[in-house]
Structure 1
């Protein structure tokens, strides 16, 4: 059976065990789809990725992203983890930026000091969440309907919608009902109050994805990308801010958001926790 180089990295954290883990199988060209899916089920992480040669000369590398239940066209923390692993393995971008190929298309990345960052892709679905869906969302999150200040589709591939609450404390106190949420992919965000919460971040985020077999994702790049486009575009957030995520899971994820010209960049630290080989 073939043997592949393998890493497990922690994304959106400056120290191991505080971010969102990601399994990375390197140079996985030739590995069959069913073996990729089987390995993703076996790792049981929110995402497992496979680094591959690109199929277009415009890309530096290609990635396929699997959850325990299937393949995703795009996801944020796998995108940052893939880029960090590719660079650490000696990858050299063809231009000033790094270009990743994935089923959604081409994603632009850049080095950002000790972090890597990706340019938020265009939203595939935006606008207000339908009024008849809001009662289900509120019930699934254990909220009174009046506690939802706003709700928007922020879907850049995975299917995200996001709801805005008043306080960080209310976000952290949520105890969602997976049976009610079902296949919805729901992000929840609220601003930090500096007087109460401190100044390490400006927003608190949680991500609930029971339909993917992951009741809560620790730190979520794709969701934060969509939320940033919504919050900055509506004037609710400044052009540069830090989002905290994973607090309810005893993590310390930090997502760095910055608007530069027409682009919104979403970045974070990536640290290696496991390195070796895997037999598939």
Structure 2
């Protein structure tokens, strides 16, 4: 038996317990898939990550990302949380940016003061949804089709399809029926009205996961939404998105386009730091 570094962090919030939790285990070089999956099932968080030495010489570290039931090639809050832990454990990047190796390839991460931001990965699927899919999305969200301002595929790994609504109040009142699209991860976004909602945030986001459940704050979804909204001229090149409101969270995702790169940033707070015995 041996003890390895174990951290539980809260991502996309400077205030502990208001963001999205993540478990991170370092020194997992000799873990097989079955062991990582078993641990992720045990932590029962939306994701658990495992840090090891990189296989690609260009990377600073490698991360494997597991939900309680499967491995993901990429996810946003595990990217920022894993980088936060790697740095806290003394990791030193080879260059100005941290380069993370994951199932989706190499991901660039930069430090902006205390905040971390990752470069949005390319979309694997984009474009408008079919008329049949739009009708299914409306049924899944319990709304009329005419309430959908736009709907797009915005898949950067987890399979996201996105819906744009007209107001924050519409979004917060949604009741998701997972039985309509049981295996489809679905993101919904709506603008804040400065007069009614305030001016510190520009968009509200909700993420309904395939096979049920709502995610508190979702980096991969916000990355793909930003690529769509900014690219279509529906959002400015810098904005803040709120997520997790209906779950009692206060997630804040900081989006900024710099040249051809869209950066997805957020604060990370360490809640637990210790060891796990294996």
TM-score bracket, normalised by the shorter chain, equals over 0.9
Aligned residue for 2:39? 39
Q: Distance in 1 between matches of 2:236 and 2:270?
A: 31
Matches within 5 A, 1:63-212: 63-211=63-211
2:220 matches 1:236: no
Aligned residue for 1:8? 8
Matches within 5 A, 1:199-278: 199-211=199-211, 215-278=213-276
Shift of 1:277: 1.1
Q: Where in structure 2 are there 5+ consecutive unaligned residues?
A: none
Aligned residue for 2:54? 54
**Secondary structure at 1:81 match in 2:** helix
Q: Where in structure 1 are there 5+ consecutive unaligned residues?
A: none
Q: Distance in 2 between matches of 1:80 and 1:130?
A: 33
Q: Distance in 2 between matches of 1:46 and 1:156?
A: 18
1:163–1:187: 8 Å Cα contact kept in structure 2? yes
Q: Distance in 2 between matches of 1:199 and 1:14?
A: 19
Number of equivalenced pairs: 278
1:159–1:185: 8 Å Cα contact kept in structure 2? yes
Q: Distance in 1 between matches of 2:141 and 2:27?
A: 41
Write out per-residue CA displacement over residues 144-188 of structure 1, whole angstroms, 9 at most, x where no aligned residue. 111111001111111111000000011111110122220001000
Shift of 1:71: 0.1
Write out per-residue CA displacement over residues 196-230 of structure 1, whole angstroms, 9 at most, x where no aligned residue. 0001210000000042xx50010000000000000
Aligned residue for 1:21? 21
**Secondary structure at 1:127 match in 2:** strand
2:186–2:210: 8 Å Cα contact kept in structure 1? no
Q: Distance in 2 between matches of 1:75 and 1:147?
A: 29
Q: Distance in 2 between matches of 1:181 and 1:196?
A: 33
Shift of 1:7: 0.3
Q: Distance in 1 between matches of 2:105 and 2:83?
A: 15
Shift of 1:191: 0.3
**Secondary structure at 2:179 match in 1:** helix
Aligned residue for 1:30? 30
Q: Distance in 2 between matches of 1:236 and 1:123?
A: 18
1:6–1:275: 8 Å Cα contact kept in structure 2? yes
1:210–1:216: 8 Å Cα contact kept in structure 2? no
The two structures, once aligned, show a CA RMSD in angstroms of 0.9
**Secondary structure at 1:154 match in 2:** strand
The runs of at least 4 aligned residues of structure 1 exceeding 3 Å deviation read none
Compute the TM-score of the two structures, normalised by the length of structure 2.
0.98
Shift of 1:2: 3.3
Shift of 1:96: 1.1
